[in-house]
Amino acid sequence: MYSHMISTYRDMFAACVIALLCLASMIHSAPQDCQDVIQPLDQLDPDHLEGRWPLVAGSLSDPAHLEFFRNRNSSSITFSNASATSNIVYTPSVSAGGKCFYKSYNVSLEGSTLTFDVRDQVNLTLTFLHTSCPDCLVMRFDNESKKVLRLWLFSRRREVKQREMEEFKAQVECLNMPPPVVLDPAKELCPEQSNRNSAAAQTVEKQEG
């Protein structure tokens, strides 16, 4: 009887040890995996930015902004003068409610980070994250407190492959953001502005850029 009890305790102890080892392995590996997934780019070629990038999907931490995002038809960003890294023109456009909204900002690129001109009074930091998609941009928007406000997936295409979308979803999850909203690729983009300083151009709120 005693030998049976000893054998039982030994089996239980072994099972607990294995469970603890597995748990420790998960705790150790998960942060490292996420660290790789949300790693900023070491350097971004400014020439790669030049031109228009349709928005494919996005996640926002603010529920009110997320609801606004769901109601937009399409969105894109355009980088102009990207080779002049200290004077890049960054222009988001949003199609919503049958109208197109535009706003241009002057930004500077240093490594993988975009910084707004102080005159624009935009307290955001834009960081480009690593992605295996060759014609994509993953942009992380942080506020002054380093809180992640949103994560955007842009591409030269209107749709990306499933594995590319799964990679973006993993980045969203690692940043503890809500599941991403995927825009309808059949909806038309706003026409590009030939004169972005035109008084007739409508503007989008800065926090929705």
Cβ proximity of 129 and 123 under 8 Å? no
pLDDT for res 7: 52
- From its phi and psi, is residue 158 left (phi > 0), alpha (psi between -120 and 50) or beta? alpha
Q: Would you give the DSSP letter of residue 143?
A: -
pLDDT for res 42: 87
Amino acid present at 40: P
pLDDT per position as a tens digit, 132-191: 999 999 999 998 888 999 999 999 999 999 999 999 999 999 999 999 999 999 999 999
Q: Would you give the DSSP letter of residue 99?
A: E
What tokens appear for 183 in the block?
């825009």
Phi then psi for residue 18, to 5 deg, are -65, -40
Q: Are residues 113 and 27 in the same domain?
A: no
Q: Are residues 18 and 80 in the same domain?
A: no
Cβ proximity of 41 and 133 under 8 Å? no
pTM above 0.85, yes or no: no
Q: Are residues 4 and 66 in the same domain?
A: no
User: 105-110 and 113-116 as β-strands: parallel, antiparallel, unpaired?
Assistant: antiparallel
- Annotate 188-203 with b (16+ C-beta within 10 A) or e (fewer): ebbeebeeeeeeebee
Q: Are residues 78 and 169 in the same domain?
A: yes
**Owning domain of residue 8:** 1-37
58 alpha carbon, distance to own chain's centre:
6
Q: Are residues 68 and 136 in the same domain?
A: yes
pLDDT for res 10: 54
Q: Are residues 56 and 30 in the same domain?
A: no
Q: Are residues 201 and 120 in the same domain?
A: yes
**Number of domain units in the chain:** 2
pLDDT for res 196: 43
Q: Are residues 30 and 120 in the same domain?
A: no
Strand partners, 61: none
Q: Are residues 23 and 52 in the same domain?
A: no
Q: How far apart are CA 65 and CA 96, in angstroms?
A: 13
Q: Are residues 51 and 29 in the same domain?
A: no
Q: Are residues 22 and 124 in the same domain?
A: no
Which segments of the chain have a pLDDT < 50?
2, 4-6, 8-9, 13-31, 195-209
